[in-house]
Structure 1
Amino acid sequence: MPRTVSHPLFARLYPRINAFAEAHGSLDHRRELLEGIRGRVVEVGAGAGANFRHYPEHVEQLIAVEPKPRLRALAERAAGDAPVPVEVQTGLAEALPVADGCADAVVLSLVLCTVPDVAATLAEAARVLKPNGEMRFYEHTVSPRPRHARLQRMLDPVWRRLGGGCHLARDSERAILDAGFAIERVRRFDFRPNGRRNPSSPMIIGEARPSRAILERAEA
C-alpha cells in the first residue's frame, strides 16, 4: 500500500481555503476540538498543521500523520511553532505508522470526508488508542435536512473531483457509531463562513471512546 496520496491542485489551494475558514470562525472550532486534550496524541490527516498551535501544554507528544507531500511539508514547518513536541510522519489513515495502544487520544479533523475507507480509518484509530483513550472529531457531514442532503448527494461527484476526494454526503457520526465507538459528546451545527449555508455547512464536533465491543476485539 502506498504511504502517500497526491492531490496537487487541492494541496496547493487548501491553505487558502483554510485561512478563509479560520478568518470566519473555524479557529474557535479547532480550540473546542482540542480543549483539555492531554498525553500522547495521534492526529490523523494533519494537513498543513492548522491544529498544532491549539494543542494545550498537557500534550506530551503529538504524532501528526499526513499522506500528501505538499501539506506534510507545511505541517513540518508549522511544527516548529507549536507549543507541544510534534513529530510529523508519512502515512495513511487506514495504516497508521504507530504501535497498538500507544495513544491517549486520536484526533480526526476534517478527515472522514476524504479518506477512501472510513471503516478502516476508524479501526486504526481504535487500534492505536489505549483502552481508556479518547477520540476527538471535527467533521463535516451529511445534512439532517432532506432537501440539503439531496443537494449534497447531487453535487458529490463534482465536489470530490475538485476537493481532493472530499465527500459531501458521508454520515460521519453514524460511521463513528458503526465502528463501535461510544460518542460521549457531540455538537451539531451549520458552519456559515459567508453568512449563508453552503453544501459543506453541516458539521459535528465531539468526543468518543472505544466501546466494550472494541476492547473485547482487541483482547481476542
Structure 2
Amino acid sequence: MSHRHPFFARFYARTSTRLEKSIGPHRATLLEGLAGRVIEIGAGNGLNFAHYPAAVTEVIAVEPEPHLRSLAEAAADRASVPIKVVDGLADGLPVEGGSCDAAVTSLVLCTVPDQDRALAEVLRVLRPGGRLRFFEHVRATAPGRRRVQKTLDGLGVWPWFGGGCHCSRDTRAAIERAGFTIDTFTELTMADTGMPFPAAPQILGTATRP
C-alpha cells in the first residue's frame, strides 16, 4: 500500500517543521476537545501528535509514504497519548466500520486520488454522531488565482511537485457532498498560516456524521 514520494517527503519534512510557529496554533485548534478513539488520515511526519488532548484514548495514524511514516513513528513515541502509526490509504482505511469517535484530516484531502471515495471511507469508520476535524488547503475565491491553481493542476505541475497534491479542489463542497454536516468553518490565509499560494487559502473546521 505504500506510496513513495522520496523528494516530496523530504521536502515536506523540512518545510513543515519550519512553518510550525504559524501552523502549530491551528493544529491545536483542530484537535481541541477530542476524546476517545481517533483516526488520523495522512499523518505525515506526525506534527499533529503533540496537540492531541489527554481525553483521547487511542489514535490510529494512517500514513502511506514510508519516509514520512518513519518520522511519524518517532513522533508517536514522544506523544502523551497512545498513537499507533500504520501503513494504509484513505480510500481503504484499515479499521472497522463505526469504530472511531473522530477523524482528522490535515493537509491530505488535496492528495487523495478520489476525494469522494476517501470521505466515504471516513464516514464508514466513524460512529453515528462522530466528528470530522479538517484543516485543508483549497481553491482560491479570487477568479484569477483560481485559474492559476486549475492550470497548475491541469498541467500536472503542482501534483508532480507536491506529491500528488491538487491545489484547486473545493474540499468544503466534497465534505458536504459525502453526507457530513459542517458545524464550524474558518477560512485562513497566508497571513494566518505562512503557507503561500497556491497552497492558500486553507479551511479549518468540524463536521458531524449523521
The residue aligned with 1:68 is 65
TM-score, normalised on structure 1? Answer: 0.91
Q: How does 1:13-28 map to 2 (within 5 A)?
A: 13-23=11-21, 25-28=22-25
Q: Say whether the 8 Å CA contact 2:36–2:58 is kept in structure 1.
A: yes
Aligned equivalents of 1:163, 1:28: Cα separation in 2: 23
**Shift of the alpha carbon at 1:85?**
0.3
Aligned equivalents of 2:32, 2:169: Cα separation in 1: 26
Aligned equivalents of 2:104, 2:194: Cα separation in 1: 28
* 1:114-168: CA deviation from partner (whole Å, max 9, x where unpaired): 0111111100100000112100000000011111111111222211111101001
Q: Say whether the 8 Å CA contact 1:21–1:193 is kept in structure 2.
A: no
The residue aligned with 2:199 is 200
Please state if 1:163 is matched with 2:162.
yes
Unmatched 5+ stretches in structure 2: none
* 1:146-196: CA deviation from partner (whole Å, max 9, x where unpaired): 111111112222111111010010011011011111101110121237979
Q: Helix, strand or coil: the match of 1:192?
A: helix
* 1:77-124: CA deviation from partner (whole Å, max 9, x where unpaired): 000111100011110010000011000000011111001111111001
TM-score, normalised on structure 2? Answer: 0.95
Please state if 1:44 is matched with 2:45.
no
Instruction: Give the total of aligned pairs.
Output: 208
Letter in 2 for 1:98: V
Question: What is the identity percentage for the equivalent residue pairs of Structure 1 and Structure 2?
Answer: 49
Q: Say whether the 8 Å CA contact 1:192–1:198 is kept in structure 2.
A: no
Q: CA RMSD in A?
A: 1.5
The residue aligned with 2:181 is 182
Query: Measured at CA, do residues 132 and 151 of structure 1 come closer, stay the same or move farther in structure 2, by a change above 3 Å?
Result: same
Aligned equivalents of 1:94, 1:194: Cα separation in 2: 28
Aligned equivalents of 1:180, 1:32: Cα separation in 2: 23
* 1:42-99: CA deviation from partner (whole Å, max 9, x where unpaired): 0001011110000000100001010011111111100011110001111001000001
Q: Say whether the 8 Å CA contact 2:19–2:194 is kept in structure 1.
A: no
Unmatched 5+ stretches in structure 1: 212-220
Aligned equivalents of 1:196, 1:108: Cα separation in 2: 17
Aligned equivalents of 2:127, 2:192: Cα separation in 1: 36
Runs of 4+ in structure 1 over 4 Å off: 193-197
**Shift of the alpha carbon at 1:197?**
5.3
Q: Helix, strand or coil: the match of 2:130?
A: strand
Q: Say whether the 8 Å CA contact 2:133–2:205 is kept in structure 1.
A: yes
Q: How does 1:204-219 map to 2 (within 5 A)?
A: 204-211=203-210
